[in-house]
A = this chain, B = another copy of it.
Amino acid sequence: MQGLTRKIVGDRWDGAFVARLRRYIEFSASEINDLRGLLEVEHSVRKRRDVVVEGGSHARLSFVKNGVAARYKVLHNGKRQIVNIIVPGDVIGLPGSFLDTTSFAVVALTDMKLEVCALDDYVALAHRRPKFGLALSWLAVHEATTYAEHIVDIGRRTALERVAHFLLEIHDRLAAVGRAAATEFDLPVSQEIMSDALGLSVPHINRMLAELRESGMIALAGRHVSFADIKRLQQLAHFEPVRLTRIPAPSQPSTIIVPKRPVDRTTVDRPAVGRPAVARHVGGRAALAN
């Protein structure tokens, strides 16, 4: 299973996390340096342990250098729902550190290495360097988008589609940080984790994986997954990777007060797509942007 740990990028001190921020906006060496000043020395979390992100004034952000975790919630009926799988380059503490009544937990699925930073310090940095505040916004929006995709997954996809979508998403996110090859990767989670992430039972996950194998879309060897027919798989799963725009550069660098903008032929209110976007049982194809 250590094919998973194939170290490619992100193991240098400023690896995965800085790379992640640079996906949204460029940072100068001195800016990166300021951020570095906030980071505590590297932390380790062992497999199966909880990653703690206390709220209040002890809130922190943890940047994952290495390893995989799951953010989850347990209901009183004993059922657990995993909300997101966390991979290198992701940030832990994004919902958690901001919540009064703290309600999601994170458990390490493998041994992990983290860079930890006090939220207060990060906010102070953002006051001096606004780009960091914006970068945090983009990070949070990215997170929200991933969650939105998961809602669609669980709410409206069949079991087979869900499993296919899960494989494609995890692969895509690992590949984005150099942890996966083009059409194959080591799945970093057990079927039990998948079941709690997808709202399905373990036996059924197993059957769906078997079905994907039998129908020739994937090949499985232990936890090593290869996409034998990625096109068909993507089509089945209705998969579309999440890609954010970059943070726009400010048109006029600063200080000038922008005048009130005139009304242009804007946004809002338009004929929609022919029929009632809210059709009774079915719906047509999707409408527009958001």
A residues apposed to B, CB below 8 Å: 34, 36-41, 43-46, 48-57, 59-60, 62, 71, 73-81, 83-84, 92-107, 109, 114, 116, 118-121, 123-131, 133-134, 136-145, 147-148, 150-152, 154-157, 192-193, 198-199, 202, 238, 240-245, 247-248, 250-255, 257-264, 266-273, 276-278, 280-290
Contact = CB atoms under 8 A, between A and B. Distances in A.
Given A133-B133, A277-B48, A121 B261 contact: yes
Contacts of A262: 40
A154 B154 contact: yes
A60 to B, nearest CB: 6
A37 B154 contact: no
Nearest to A95: B145
A287 B120 contact: no
A272 B107 contact: yes
A145 B52 contact: no
A138 to B, nearest CB: 7
Nearest to A201: B281
Nearest to A36: B260
A261 B40 contact: yes
Contacts of A105: 277, 286-290
Contact of A283 (B37, B53, B80, B99): B80
Contacts of A93: 290
A21 to B, nearest CB: 13
A130 B48 CA distance: 38
Contact of A78 (B36, B44, B283): B283
Nearest to A280: B192
Given A37-B258, A75-B238, A245 B290 contact: no
Nearest to A79: B156
Contacts of A83: 148, 151-152
B268 A98 contact: no
Contacts of A282: 78-79
B40 A123 contact: no
A38 B280 CA distance: 39
A45 to B, nearest CB: 5
Contacts of A136: 133-134, 137
B51 A267 contact: yes
A245 B98 contact: yes
Contacts of A77: 156, 238
Contacts of A138: 98
B152 A285 contact: no
A59 to B, nearest CB: 7
A192 B278 CA distance: 9
A259 to B, nearest CB: 7
